[in-house]
Chains A and B, each alone.
Chain A
Amino acid sequence: MITDAQRFQPFSDEPIRLIDEGGAWLAPFSCDLDDDTLIGLYRHMVLGRMVDERLVRLQRLGKSSFVAPSSGHEAAQVGIAGAVRVGSDWIFPYYRDTALALAVGWPLVDMLGQMMGTRADPARARQMPAHPGSRALNMFTVASPIASHVPVAVGTAIAQKLAGAGDATVCTFGDGATSEGDWHAGLNFAGAQGAPIVFACENNRYAISVDLQHQTGSPNVAAKAHAYGMPGYLVDGMDVLASYLVMRDVMAAARDGLGPALVELTVYRYGPHSSADDDGVYRASEEVAAWRERDPIPRYRRFLEGRKLWGDAREDELRAALKAEIDAAVKASEAAGPVPVEWMFDDVLSRPTPQLERQRERFRAARRAAGEDVEG
């Protein structure tokens, strides 16, 4: 598929972009993607946006305790997802990867079960919302501590290399993660081992309230790759084609044994950091509005329209279909109901310790004594 391995240059001063704000193709080479692929990218971006908007509403309705808005990240996330060979590659996402998780095939009902903490969550409602994971997709379950998944992802990539299967790992994170010790420990080890892993930074310029200038003295995140002996690509993460094609190339290079890479995808988060954040305190509404003008979804729609692949009728049809899917998933996940109380004692170790068994017995006795239904 890759016609020119050097098509994208690392360490550029300006972000790599393939379409401009008006949706016009900019690159000196032609786009090699078929129509279905091009439309599929759009569909996944719109799905991510619509689900994100629904999650925000569900949180406001009290049906979910937390949401980490992902609107503005869709192009980067769908681009990353497109570069994954689902089932053989491994994905180590972070908490804001709604569109990514859906685009690699995480079922909507699983996601909504996780967001609402119901029995529809295959992870048994063990974590707060925005913590995806799926064994079937090789998508490692998110943990909240920032960057703690980075050395783990490197271990998986080293194991892939030892297995010689020609698979790769992708590990995503935000800009704040690049200040954590674990991030540097992970990239350093990956560099030393030549591990088949791509580190994808969704740089939205804010770690909650702290802007990039207060996060690092580096000119950008991609430049940090120099220190670890790997290429660092600076990409316009609001251009889905640039995001996808750069990620596709570096993942293919990793599978081919050419070692790790760091890809910085510059994005903007339209919402607050989370449902517990007030972003008006640290950034001007004019700034948000200016980035709204550069929304990756209409930008890419203009590209598709330029190729006669899209129009109002198709847009209406897509949104109606996705809304129906989302409505059905919300309903199914709610209908699954709450998880049983005593599920909290399961899955600590492969077998419960005698200590935990005793605690469970006493807990049950106390509930019985209080007249509670211990089976519920």
Chain B
Amino acid sequence: MAVQNYVQTIARTLMEEMRRDDRVVVLGEDVGKRGGVFLATEHLYDTFGPDRVIDTPLSEAAIIGAAIGMSVYGRRPVAEIQFSDYVYPGFDQLVSQAAKLRYRSGGAFTTPMVVRMPAGGGVKGGHHHSQNPETHFIHTPGLQVVYPSTPNDAKGCLKTTIRGEDPVVFLEPKRLYRALKEDVSDDVDFMLPIGRGVRRREGDDVVLISYGASMGETLKAADALSDQGIAADVIDLRWLMPWDENLVLERVAAVGRAVLVSEAPHSGNMMSEVAATIAEEVLDMLEAPPLRVSGFDTPYPYAQDRVYLPGPNRILHAVQQVLDY
């Protein structure tokens, strides 16, 4: 075990995977000599050289498109989009090319690749450095979407996805890059299973469900509830597509109350899907309707950077509503 922060873990995991498998290549803007603007690819260029750590032109379509083409030829590309807010010039590559390649070719061609993107708010970046784009990708059949919230999870999920057979949108909560450190597995084959969430707290009064950067606020809310004598069960989804229906339904059915936290804009976000599934599958086990706490249907604001996020107070307010229902 080594104590590492999130971004160090990404860089070290990439290093391990590139050592393990010659096919793994890294490409993106500033990922080479600079080591990435967040240093998520630090030391890779010095270790593996320009053939495997490719500084690309400033073009997201070229980065993602080339990653697809390299994967088709047998490479294992890990592409970096500098901010998820900048993925849109490459959106067509993900949606029209990557997501549909296996399907449209009847399985003849596949595109195992990972597109890493720092996402989320709380960094005073305004709407073009703060958004949470996961809904676009969840709504695109043919992509896997993962949004790990801790360094150790990031390692396990990154290894799983690099060694997988599918195109993956790998979202990283950038405000947590250096905000927390934890023990990270030093097992070079540490992998977390696709589509499996994890319980961060156990409790019987209310289930809090979240993922990505919002896990921090959700756990803070759980701690505050604990101080009031309310035991929250906390689920970290980790994977958004596929996502852990079994874990969610089992815990929500057992507890009967759920609050769903996501910092993406409210309408049609990941938690809308979770809420709909709860309603479809376990409605008669509920003591109260599931409530969502989320970002708002506005572009991500600048001046209100922190209050836009679903912080502990808004989560606690929602918990009170489901308890009082």
Assess whether A151 is in contact with B57, with CB atoms less than 8 Å apart: no
Q: How far is the CA of A141 from the CA of B105 in the complex (A)?
A: 6
Name the residue of chain B whose CB is nearest to the CB of A189: B62
Which residues of B from 115 to 158 have beta carbons under 8 Å from A? 141-142, 144
Contact with B along A138-174 (1 / 0, CB 8 A): 0011011100111111111111101100000000000
Residues of B within 8 A of A123 (CB): 104-106, 108
Contact of B108 among A135, A143, A185, A350 (CB under 8 A): A135
B110: interface (CB < 8 Å): yes
Q: Which B17-67 residues sit within 8 Å CB-CB of chain A?
A: 25, 51-52, 54, 56-57, 59, 61-62, 64-67
Q: Is the CB of B242 within 8 A of A353?
A: yes
B-contacting 9-mer, from A126-134, A254-262, A322-330 = A126-134
Task: Assess whether B97 is in contact with A350, with CB atoms less than 8 Å apart.
Answer: no
Please state if A155 and B68 are interface contacts (CB–CB under 8 Å): yes
- Interface contact B106-A121, CB-CB below 8 Å: yes
CA distance A162 to B106 in the complex (A): 28
Stretch at the interface among B71-79, B173-181, B294-302: B71-79
Shortest distance in angstroms between B170's beta carbon and chain A's nearest beta carbon?
Answer: 15
**Interface flag for B289 (CB, 8 Å):** no
Q: Is the CB of A122 within 8 A of B93?
A: no
Cβ of B70 < 8 Å from any Cβ of A? yes
A163 to B74, CA, bound (A): 10
Are A156 and B108 in touch, CB under 8 angstroms? no
B287: Cβ under 8 A from any A Cβ:
no
Cβ of B268 under 8 Å from chain A: no
- Please give the distance in Å from A138's CB to the nearest CB on chain B: 9
Flag whether A348 is at the interface (Cβ < 8 A).
Answer: yes
Asked if B109 contacts A135 (CB within 8 A), the reply is yes
User: Interface residues of B toward A: which range?
Assistant: 35 or more
- Residue A237 CB within 8 A of the other chain: no
Q: Does B85 contact A (CB under 8 A)?
A: no
Which residue from B62, B73, B108 sits with its C-beta under 8 Å from A186?
B62
A184-209 interface mask toward B, CB cutoff 8 Å, 1 = contact, 0 = none?
A: 01101100110000000000000000
Interface string of A344-360 (1 = CB under 8 A from B): 00111111011110100
Closest chain B residue to A160, Cβ basis? B73
Q: Is B195 an interface residue when CB atoms closer than 8 A count as contact?
A: yes
Report whether A181 and B96 are in contact in the complex, using a CB–CB cutoff of 8 Å: no
Number of interface residues of A (CB under 8 A): 50
Taking a contact as CB atoms under 8 Å apart, the answer to whether B243 and A355 are in contact is: yes
Cβ contact within 8 Å between B104 and A141: yes
A156 touches B70 (CB 8 A): yes
Q: Is the CB–CB distance between B107 and A188 below 8 Å?
A: no
Query: Would you call A159 and B75 a contact (CB within 8 A)?
Result: yes
Chain B residues, Cβ within 8 Å of A155: 65-73, 77
Pick the residue among B52, B61, B73, B241 that contacts A90 (CB under 8 A): B73
Contact between chains at A181 and B61 (CB < 8 Å): yes
Residues in B whose Cβ lies below 8 Å from that of A358: 245
Taking A189-B62, A347-B103, A354-B195 as contacts, is the C-beta distance between A153 and B69 under 8 angstroms?
yes
By a CB distance below 8 angstroms, the chain B residues around A158 are 54, 66, 69-70
Q: Are B65 and A148 in contact (CB-based, < 8 A)?
A: yes
A residues in contact with B109, CB < 8 Å: 133, 135, 140-141
B57 engages A188 (CB within 8 Å):
yes
- Other-chain residue from B72, B73, B89, B104 in contact with A127 (beta carbon distance below 8 A): B104
A211 in the interface, Cβ–Cβ < 8 Å?
Answer: no
A182 within 8 A of B: yes
CB of A124 within 8 A of chain B?
Answer: yes
Pairwise interchain contact A148-B97, C-beta atoms closer than 8 A: yes
> B77: which A residues are within 8 A, CB to CB?
155
Contacts of A152 in B (CB 8 A): 65-66, 68-69, 72, 93, 97
Check if B62 sits within 8 Å of A185, measured CB to CB: yes
CA distance A348 to B96 in the complex (A): 13
How far is the CB of A315 from the nearest CB of chain B, in Å? Answer: 36
Distance in angstroms between the alpha carbons of A355 and B242 in the assembled complex: 7
- Tell whether B101 is near chain A: CB-to-CB under 8 Å: yes
Docked Cα-Cα span, A159 to B97, in Å, equals 18
Which residues of the other chain, A, contact B142 by a CB distance below 8 angstroms?
348-349
Residues of B with C-beta under 8 A to A351: 194
With A122-B106, A156-B73 in contact, do A151 and B61 touch (Cβ < 8 Å)? yes
Which chain B positions have C-beta within 8 A of A181? 61, 89
Chain A nearest Cβ from B62, distance in angstroms: 4
Most buried by B among A133, A160, A193, A353: A353
Which of A133, A149, A189 contacts B105, CB < 8 Å?
Answer: A133
Bound state CA distance, A354 and B246, in angstroms?
A: 9
The verdict on B100 contacting chain A, using a C-beta distance below 8 Å, is yes
A189 touches B59 (CB 8 A): yes
- Cα A154 to Cα B144 with chains together (Å): 24
Q: Is the CB of A141 within 8 A of B108?
A: yes
Contacts of B172 in A (CB 8 A): none
Chain A positions within 8 Å of B62 at CB level: 151, 154, 185-186, 188-189
Name 7 interchain pairs, CB-CB below 8 A, sorted by A: A123-B106, A133-B108, A158-B70, A182-B61, A348-B103, A350-B110, A350-B166
Known: A126-B104, A186-B65, A188-B62. 15 other contacts (CB 8 A): A126-B106, A133-B109, A141-B108, A143-B97, A144-B96, A148-B92, A155-B72, A185-B89, A188-B57, A189-B59, A346-B107, A350-B165, A354-B195, A355-B242, A356-B141
The chain A residues found within 8 Å of chain B, CB to CB, are 90, 121-124, 126-127, 131, 133-135, 140-141, 143-145, 148-160, 162-163, 181-182, 185-186, 188-189, 192-193, 346-351, 353-356, 358
The 9 closest A-B pairs by CB, nearest first: A151-B65, A155-B69, A155-B66, A353-B242, A123-B106, A124-B106, A159-B73, A350-B165, A156-B69
Interface residues in chain B, defined as those with a beta carbon under 8 Å from any beta carbon in chain A: 25, 51-52, 54, 56-57, 59, 61-62, 64-75, 77, 89, 92-93, 96-97, 100-110, 141-142, 144, 164-166, 194-195, 241-243, 245-246
